[in-house]
Structure 1
Amino acid sequence: MFNVPVIDISSYVDPHGSAADRARVARELDAACSTVGFVQVVGHGIPAATIDGLIAALDEFYALPLDVKKRYTRPGENRGYSPPKSESLSMSLGVAAANQMNDFYEAFTVGSERGWFAGLDLPETSYARNTWPVAAPGFRTAVEAWFAAARGVSRVLLTACTDALDLPTAYFDDLTDHSIDALKMNNYTLPEGEIELAGELTGMGAHTDFGILTVLWADQVPGLQVLDVDGVWHDVQPADGALLVNLGDAMARWTNDRWRSTVHRVDPPVVDGRIIRRRSAAFFFDGNHDAVIETLPGCASAERPGYPPITVAENIDAKLAGMKTGVAPEFADREAQRVMAAR
């Protein structure tokens, strides 16, 4: 039976967590990452007020008129506002929709900036400055608080992943000390109410995430679907108080697919023939732009050789080009075949 396990990571959040509890979490994490590629995380320590602030920020910005929101659009960049039907996430795998740019969500993205890392000569393409919507005065403070909280959870999870893979302590530190982190806040834009779905209608196209792992807050409404190893889609909703966490391509390539970067999508959230509103905020922990993704010790064999090396930035840039301009990546054949075979 398909199941996204719930894992309590409080022993890793607590600097004094017991070794026995941490060992149990590492075992549970390894089992989940080897099978489903998704987990539900509780005991993450993020205050309810920080979550409430994020929700209020989303509501404040997305209530603005479309022409106002479009003032914060930055075409071709992974920052600022993306209007509905301006992206196609399935093209990040090279899988074209019938109507190529057909994802019915709007989004606002912020992320790591060059100026955060003094003394490093980092590329603007990977560490662009952020745009903040002055028309939503409460937005920046609340979003920055959530960004910091989700960033903290992602680092806690990486520590647990390091233990689960039986790697030396701090193995990933040099690969993540100037990480490309991004927060993409989504709003599914079809108006609430009764509708008649006709033709291809996609909330967010089938895709894998690009980096190390993703920390997702989402409304407890239908929409998110995960593709299992048999090519069947399954509905997933967060448990009470849980954050959904999934692995990205960097971790799958590092582990030579011992751990899964699971294909997922969002269909229009429909309950009893009615569209209902859905919001989400995905924090992408992607790693340093110049970090080389090559097979970890013990994860390759003569029968199962590792992937060819690629940098984090090369992987992200190719997939963003697919999502935003429709240029299919050259190295996504494996994931594309899984999507095309799904039922």
Structure 2
Amino acid sequence: MVSDFVVPTVDISAWVSGERDEQTVRELDLACRTVGFVQIVGHGVPAEVTDGLADAIDGFFGQSLEAKKRWIRPASENRGYSPPKSESLSYSLGVDPVARMNDYFEAYNIGVGKNTWPDEPTAFRPQVEAHFREARRVAETLTSIFAAALGVEPDFFDRIAGNSIDVLRMNNYALEPGEIEPGADLTGMGEHTDFGIVTVLWADQVAGLQVLGTDNVWHDVQPADGALLVNLGDISARLTNDVWMSTLHRVKPPIVGGTIERRRSAAFFHDGNGDALIETLPRFVPEGGVPLYEPITVAEHIAAKLAGSREGHKNTGAVRDAARVLAASPGVTR
């Protein structure tokens, strides 16, 4: 059966230049309601910035594991280096992985406030900081469009995300040759939803990212030429009573000749203020009905999710998402 699943493309150049274009609002609103993932073009991020980010990722992750482990920080800090198999994202949904802490990606996190910066490569910090600034600008442009689409005050997202817990997570999915057993079911990154308002993703055009469609089938997705992949997080779903979709996704690394083809990505998470109380907007609650979600602060929500992915405590507050994962077809429409 041919699938009609598609990640729509939305050009935000009008909003980047300061114009409030209604066509962009309508297109983004439709994408948020039907897929939860969007190919964003016209974002204005210079090619030299994304080229620098790729160079920084290559330079850091190309070092030996011993050298990279110098930059491990306590999980509670959400900063620094995470080695392969130190996390399991499916636990953030309360879903048991094949093996505890089995995700094969390695990562490096930086964010607002205090960071841990490696001393090698020397260009790592300025290259990463340049992308962080651009990704934050794109995220804030998107939330301006979100406010128009949701019919809230233009400063609504300024109030709940003016001091946002923003994090840039750089990921590398390569494994050393010879580590792959025949028939192994490898998990680059387990099934999960993102935690916050919106995620701005840079990724190279290597297969691996899979998105769970409304047909309960996993679909391959990769960025279009010059595009950033954007997806909604749980905070947006909570605000809209699931009218906007915090879509489940995962990474299954492609295996070529017995080894994993290298894949890189960098996800900028725009999560909101830690103390912001997130309540469903009244217009999304049917008359006489009750919201799907209880009020919660951004910090409380993120803490519950991170306790799953990094500490191995199953998150019991994601019942609907866990059920979707368990009901999903193992096949993928390509």
The bucket for the TM-score relative to the shorter chain is over 0.9
Q: State the alpha-carbon separation in 1 of the partners of residues 289 and 32 from structure 2.
A: 19
Q: Report how far residue 167 of structure 1 moved.
A: 1.6
Give the match for residue 196 of structure 2. 211
Q: Which residue of 149, 157, 169 maps to 2:134?
A: 149
Q: Secondary structure at the match of 1:109?
A: strand
Q: Distance in 1 between matches of 2:251 and 2:72?
A: 23
- Cα 1:194–1:289, aligned 2, differ >3 Å: closer, same or farther? closer
Partners of 1:250 and 1:109 in 2: CA distance: 21
2:117 maps to 1:132: yes
Gaps of 5+ in 1: 114-128
**Aligned AA (1:310):** I
Q: Is the Cα–Cα contact under 8 Å of residues 192 and 277 in structure 1 kept in the other structure?
A: no
One of 3, 6, 16 as aligned partner of 1:3: 6
Cross-structure match for 1:14: 17
Give, in angstroms, the shift of residue 64 of structure 1: 1.1
Q: Which residue of structure 2 lines up, in the alignment, with residue 98 of structure 1?
A: 98
* Amino acid corresponding to residue 169 of structure 1 in structure 2: P
Q: In angstroms, what is the RMSD of aligned CA positions? A: 1.6
327 and 339 in structure 1: CA distance in 2 versus 1, 3 angstrom threshold = same
Q: What does 1:16-165 align with in structure 2 at a 5 Å threshold?
A: 17=19, 19=20, 22-77=21-76, 78-113=78-113, 129-165=114-150
- 2:332 aligned residue: none
- For the 8 Å contact 2:278–2:296, the answer to whether it is kept is yes
* Aligned-pair CA distance for 1:172: 1.7
Aligned mates of 1:98, 1:330 — CA distance in 2: 18
Q: What's 2:279 paired with?
A: 294
Q: Equivalent residue for 1:122?
A: none
Q: Is the 8 A contact 1:215 1:283 kept in 2?
A: yes
Q: Does the C-alpha gap of structure 1 residues 234 and 271 become closer, same or farther in structure 2, counting only changes over 3 Å?
A: farther
In 2, distance between residues paired with 1:74 and 1:195?
28
Residue in structure 2 matching 1:339, options 321, 325, 329: 325
User: Does structure 2 conserve the Cα–Cα contact (< 8 Å) formed by 1:94 and 1:328?
Assistant: yes
The yes-or-no answer on 1:185 pairing with 2:170 is: yes
Q: Matched residues in 2 for 1:256 and 1:282: separation?
A: 25
- Aligned with 1:248 (options 233, 248, 264): 233
Residues of 2 paired with 1:256 and 1:9: CA distance? 25
CA distance in 2, matches of 1:35, 1:92: 23
How far did residue 191 of structure 1 move?
3.6
In structure 2, C-alpha distance between the alignment counterparts of 1:216 and 1:304, rounded to whole Å = 35
Q: Answer yes or no: is the 8 Å Cα contact 1:211–1:312 preserved in 2.
A: yes
Shift of 1:164: 1.1
Indicate conservation of the 8 Å contact 1:192/1:276, yes or no: no
* SS of match in other structure, 1:132: coil
> 1:10/1:290 Cα in 2 relative to 1: closer, same or farther (>3 Å)?
same
Classify the secondary structure of the residue corresponding to 2:272: strand
Q: Cα deviation per residue 1:202-222 (whole Å; 9 max; x = unaligned)? A: 000000000000000001010
- The CA distance in 2 between the partners of 1:330 and 1:295, in whole Å, is 20
For residue 179 of structure 1, report the CA deviation from its aligned partner.
Answer: 0.5
Q: Aligned pair in 2 of structure 1 residues 7, 140: CA closer, same or farther (>3 Å)?
A: same
Matched position secondary structure for 1:179: coil
> Equivalents in 1 of 2:34, 2:258: separation in Å?
33
Call closer, same or farther: CA 1:338–1:204 in 2, change over 3 Å: same
- Offset, 1:300: 0.6
Deviation at 1:102, TM superposition (A): 0.7
Give the distance between the partners of 2:45 and 2:161, measured in 1 at CA: 22
Inter-partner Cα distance in structure 1 for 2:223 and 2:259: 21
Q: Which runs of 5+ in 2 are unaligned?
A: 330-334
Q: Distance in 1 between matches of 2:235 and 2:123?
A: 34
Length-normalised TM-score, structure 1: 0.91
- Indicate how the Cα distance of structure 1 residues 200 and 323 shifts in structure 2: closer, same or farther if over 3 A, else same: same
Contact 1:193 / 1:276 at 8 angstroms: preserved in 2?
no
Q: Percent identity, please.
A: 58
CA distance in 1, matches of 2:258, 2:125: 36
Return the alpha-carbon distance in structure 1 between the equivalents of residues 319 and 38 of structure 2: 25
Per-residue displacement from partner, 1:67-91 (whole Å, max 9, x unpaired)? 1100100132311000000000011
Answering whether residue 305 of structure 2 is matched by residue 319 of structure 1, we say yes
Give per-residue Cα distances to partners, 1:264-284, cap 9 Å, x unaligned: 000012357753110000000
Corresponding residue for residue 230 of structure 1:
215
Letter in 1 for 2:218: W
